[in-house]
Structure 1
Amino acid sequence: MDATIIIYVVIAIAVIGLVATLLLRGRRTPPGTYTTTRDANDPAAPPAGGGTDTLEAPRAPTGTAPPIGVPTEEEPLPAGVEIPEDAAALETIPVETPAPVQGRLARLRARLVKSNNALGKGLLALLASDKIDDDVWDEIEETLLLADLGTEPTLELVDALKERVKVEGSRNPEQVKAMLREELIKLVDPSIDRSLAVMRHADRPAVVLVVGVNGVGKTTTVGKLARVLVAEDKDVILGAADTFRAAAAEQLATWGSRVGVPTVKSDVDGADPASVAFEAVKAGIEQEVDVVMVDTAGRLQNKVGLMDELGKVKRVIEKQATVDEVLLVLDATTGQNGLNQAKVFAEVVNITGIVLTKLDGTAKGGIVVAIQRSLGVPVKLVGLGEGADDLAPFETEDFVDALLN
């Protein structure tokens, strides 16, 4: 009898154990993990009964943006946004020393003199003629218009030169050149304040927003400007808010790494640009840096939704800091098309300065005058090549002298 009872007890324990095992195997995978079952025909598959693999939750799929919305202090960090604590968090890349500002300016002046003097040569040839009649003045007007000086500035310059040549009666090439130089300097206007608003405030960094259409060299310009600021001993953080162009964030981070500047970016394609910009400024405030520069997507001026989004980026940044500088990057080789772009961007954000790239590859230097006259916005920086240090402050007299060689 006792043996029978023992047998029943053993059977009961075995049954209970089996039921418990089945229940444990059927339990749902804990939140935050995923399970995958290997193919039975896969040579690398585990033996039968080997169970499943538990994986960490993957990143959001490419092309899926996190919910649109302004992050607040209480909300978690938007998915996929990486915020380095400081420059020491960068990958180990040899840090470069940017060229000093003065040395860079001298080299850029020489380059501009060699490459961008078609306008000056044409004007000087015409003004040095033995006889300056109406036909010559017409050719001068045409030369200036082809250089994208604009109709109103062209007429002003021609009228001023006509009057001076008539009054002074000079045909000496050097004197004519001096007249032309003086009148061009007046048009470009040396009285405009071209300084960058990059001085840190008492309790927060200066914030610079960089905008422009695709293909003008905007991300490259942000990287080059970071080098200029580092050369001036400023602490900088970059914000990669261009989340639509493939590899834009990595391109910007590489530029920053070369001079020891950290980059706030998202590893999710199509992430909300406003969230990235917000977190970049937030990191800049927390780390007490001097300047936060935010790169934006290259929006086409006819894409109303994207332009509205650019306005949103600026509004979101302003929830915690003012935007001190809005730089519009333009390609000098596009001429009047660049002026059209500038007008559209000016309707969306308050542009405070122009960066004119590829100025060494065009004879259309007159666009400098046209843009300033049209928008009342100064050209503050010029790009004159592909090199890392080929960006410099715009200097009125240097520019005119380079045009006239």
Structure 2
Amino acid sequence: MRGKADTTRTEPAGTPRPPRERAVARAVESSVAMFRRKVRAGELGSLPVVLVLATVWIIFQSLNDNFLSPRNLSNLSVDIVGTGLIAVGIVFVLLLGELDLSVGSISGLAAAVFAVLNVNNGVPEWLALVIAVLAGTAAGTVQGFSFARTRVPAFVVTLAGLLTWNGLMLYILGTSGTINLDENGLVAQLTNYYFTDDAVAYGLAAVAAGVVFLVSYQDALRRRSVGMPHRSLQALVVRTGALAVIAFAAAYLLNRFQGLPLALLIFLVMVAGLDILLRRTHYGRQVYALGGGVEAARRASLNVTGVQTAVLAVSGTMAAIGGLFLASRITSVSQSSGSGVLLLNAVAAAVIGGTSLFGGRGTTWSAVLGMLVIQSIASGMAITDTPTAVQFMITGGVLFAAVVIDSVSRRTQEAHGRA
């Protein structure tokens, strides 16, 4: 009996690949080569924190299968928002090579202002919320102007602010101590509302990937028009595809629990907006220039006083917004609001995420990654019933490693003439 003829064709060795496949291969090779050049030059970017985050997730998942469950990841995505927003404001200050120690007190002050106005005095929620945020902006502006005009280091000015705003918060709260928020109110719903329709999360994931591609493509065209190095179209497609995979995976996991949290959506939108402000506006370029050297910026006729004041105002504003999200999470405001390890976690998140303590390097997304690391450690410790003391030691070790990497990276860049 004669068997069927084998119709499978074997390509001879050396057969050229299709044009599309060759283009994708070139894009990947180009991206890998660029990545290697940056690493050798000390421009590590987000690589260290991504590796740390992956390690943390792998370890805790091996210890407890519930760590990467949709429920825990959904809670994690909401828990990072309050402190993460404060950390984003600190990124602005760190870019100047300075430090804001008052953000915890400002966050507590803003929450207290909102609670007293809305709960105790019957002011409409939207108006009380606006006044609370403006209180944070005003506090940051006062500190920024004092720092810029007196040239006293920002950490000294904001240390005085830490005591002042904390005292003002205690005065506003009075002897009542704790004020409970309306659980069905606007602020309480910030961290308790979820988009339960699956299409919302998937649709926003698609929109995010599309926006990133368009912005990257426009940037590549602009750089090519002036003869600067730029990414190829194929490299942009590969990069956007990787982002889309992450976005859709996150949407899938969130939809398996309660859906997309409103708090996470607001957080990501604000981080993206502030990233555009920093990297694509004249103001943002001035911030990075001041981080490179204040005296050089002055000689270049930059408005140093205005930029420094604005940076501290942004930090105060973000601290106030973060404080409202923290109050929303527990639906109350007390005399302990804004205290504890809040300040340390916010600063650590910015630094662990990759923002340089020396100024001039970092993005708002640094705070997101750093906050993910810190909150992942906290969440993993809670699930595995590990003592809080161990959590502090691990977080401190990660922070120390981040500072060391930052220092080594800076020296490497100086050796290559990039810093």
Q: Same fold (TM over 0.5)?
A: no
| Larger Cα-atom Rg | 1
Instruction: Identify, as 1 or 2, the structure richer in strand.
Output: 1
Normalising by structure 1, what TM-score? 0.25
Structure of higher RCO (CA pairs closer than 8 Å, 6+ residues apart) = 2
